[in-house]
Structure 1
């Protein structure tokens, strides 16, 4: 590690002001940033912690029935407080990493980082959620723009994520046993106007929607509807844990499992 200043603002406005400093970096739960600092892969002059901002904490229901989760809310809190509001989302949160990660990592940090193997991006995209920042609201389909890339601008903070609640939903993850990241994770959500299927962990471009599966499941929401529907291994991540073709196969398997779990 090296020397840097540390700011812990108590409001979003103060956080935005602090991030205006040269080479300032926002710090959510620190599950990605702290290891990055230790490896000297990033060297901000100021760390601005978002953990002390009360207005970015907690789970509630909006006037439109959406489940609203503050950007500074930990995975453990989402797993506990969203269980009766959006069970599939709570189940996803309760199986991220291990207890230490779940009690420090935040939904805002995960969504802002957009790791290609993270779980939350699939829930956000699969639910057609809205990412709220200190300046605007961004639809999930416009937010994710590739591996570690989002629509966020410099100094912009994820203050809340709003999830419309589906009729049925489930998340199925084939995890890498050491890291517990998703080798492939699929979030399936059935709404009155159709089904959304979001895949994480598989593509070199990060989280994406599987449109062919969405079309099949919108006509018949059952695992059998996916018979004959598959994805290509082209453009899939290939590493020591599995080839692109293997991950493509897992996309189909995990989607069927998610549909079966959703009922």
Structure 2
């Protein structure tokens, strides 16, 4: 059973109208946190909403953990209302992160929307712990956010925006395909909206490039008990339902079946 902690808010920053990030103090007895893992955060101390919100880790610091949150409902709005020194009940770290030993210097990091947050921690970890400073491709609907952090992690960042406000006007898949055509990429590590993950997987398969997908699914318990967050996985020719929170959230693209 994962341990529950009461963690203090030590820093908070609003990035735009729907995205904010905050840091919680990190206890000395907390297990190591790996890129791709997440925590369940209680939105309220009153017990409502009942379920903790699954939030990916966007940065691990010596004495704190950063979470970047998109406000999509009552629970995340309650988290936005938290102030410095408020306590938040959390459970974690939860889930299995990226397959770090498989990553090479020819890997490429791709993030879309709020999915840029867990790949930011991946890029930071690889740079600081593995000595791998990988190129990053990021997709946004409109104005990019959190770019100062990314600029400190990678010297090679390309951006796509649907609005055309910055970078390539369109989707990250255009930039990705140009890189795949060059033959300089042997693996893509990605997090983003469901349709983006599907498009990246299919594009990489055409170029015989491995993908690691951080799946974003709705979760209830976050610890593998309720089966709400299952996704279709193909193993040895057989279809199975795997729990994103417990068995993932990272899977190889070759395993994931989107059209079920």
Structure 1 length as normaliser, TM-score?
A: 0.26
Bigger strand fraction: 2
Structure 2 length as normaliser, TM-score?
A: 0.26
The higher-RCO structure (CA 8 Å, 6+ apart) is: 2
